[in-house]
């Protein structure tokens, strides 16, 4: 299964460590998840997005080992849809800004979970 990950709380802290801390808490699921997450924007005005390949059909069992997993929204992607393929490519390439609610955010930091 391929899943989109969106951090849905406002990011009001610094950028360093936002994705790294979440990945550290996912250590128990390392053999079930591969993907990347990125912070887009600047300090006190940023969003987190990511794309992950998950063993199995549900994201929750792989991510609920992290105490803060409820801060994220996980959406199952369809690998046959062009827009979902493009989303995964963009999340893994880190070379394009993203648009959220009409505002453009540049890539600031990212981490790969493998």
Q: Average pLDDT over the chain, rounded to whole?
A: 85
Q: Given the structure tokens 């792989």, which residue do they identify? A: 62
Domain span at residue 23? Answer: 2-113
Question: How much is the pLDDT for 87?
Answer: 92
pLDDT single digits (tens) 26-58: 999 999 999 998 889 888 788 888 999 999 888
Task: Please state the pTM of the whole predicted model.
Answer: 0.84
DSSP 8-state secondary structure symbol assigned to residue 48: E
Count of domains for the chain: 1
Q: How far apart are CA 54 and CA 105, in angstroms?
A: 26
Question: Which CATH number does the domain housing residue 12 bear?
Answer: 3.30.70.1010
Extract the runs of DSSP E, i.e. beta strands, from the chain: 2-7, 33-42, 45-54, 72-77, 98-100, 103-105, 107-113
Range from 29-33, 52-56, 70-74, 86-90 carrying the lowest mean pLDDT: 70-74
């Amino acid at each position: 299964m391929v899943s989109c990950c969106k951090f849905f709380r406002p990011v009001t802290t610094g950028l360093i460590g936002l994705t790294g801390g979440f990945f550290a808490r996912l250590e128990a699921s390392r053999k079930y998840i591969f993907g990347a997450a990125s912070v887009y924007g600047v300090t006190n005005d940023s969003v987190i997005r990511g794309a992950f390949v998950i063993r199995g059909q549900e994201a929750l069992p792989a991510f609920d080992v992290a105490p803060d997993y409820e801060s994220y929204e996980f959406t199952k992607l369809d690998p046959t849809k062009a827009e979902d393929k493009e989303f995964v490519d963009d999340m893994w390439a880190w070379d394009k800004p993203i648009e959220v609610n009409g505002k453009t955010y540049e890539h600031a930091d990212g981490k790969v979970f493998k």
